Amino acid sequence: MTASEHIILWDFLVPRPHQAAFVRGYGPEGGWARLFARAPGFLGTALYRDASDPERFVTLDRWESAEAYAAFRTRFAEEYATIDREFDALTLRERILGELVALRDG
């Protein structure tokens, strides 16, 4: 098997009063996705709500490779920090669950 996509999973705890704004900002058409889309190698993002805990959300960000993600973080570091501060007020908790590599035959 060979490596393909690089996936970053984030976990958030979002109080109910902030959920609509959070979904707008973190969804596939939100501010984060628009920033990511400016970088080569971005494949897409998805937002999920926990079925048993309505205040818990998970995002899945897909990149062509770890190198594409690292290049994005370097090139857009200032804008990343700005949007991160802007959306920080919406959450009680934000943590990375992990960086994964999708495998394919080859």
Fold of 2-100: Alpha-Beta Plaits (3.30.70)
Give the integer Cα–Cα distance in Å for 92 and 89. Answer: 8
**Please, what is the end-to-end C-alpha distance for the chain in angstroms?**
6
What pLDDT digit, counting tens, does each position of 63-78 carry?
Answer: 999 999 999 999 999 9
Place 105 in a pLDDT band, splitting at 50, 70 and 90: low
68, exposed or middle or buried, with CB in 10 Å at 0-12, 13-18, 19+?
middle
Task: Parse the chain into domains and list their residue ranges.
Answer: 2-100
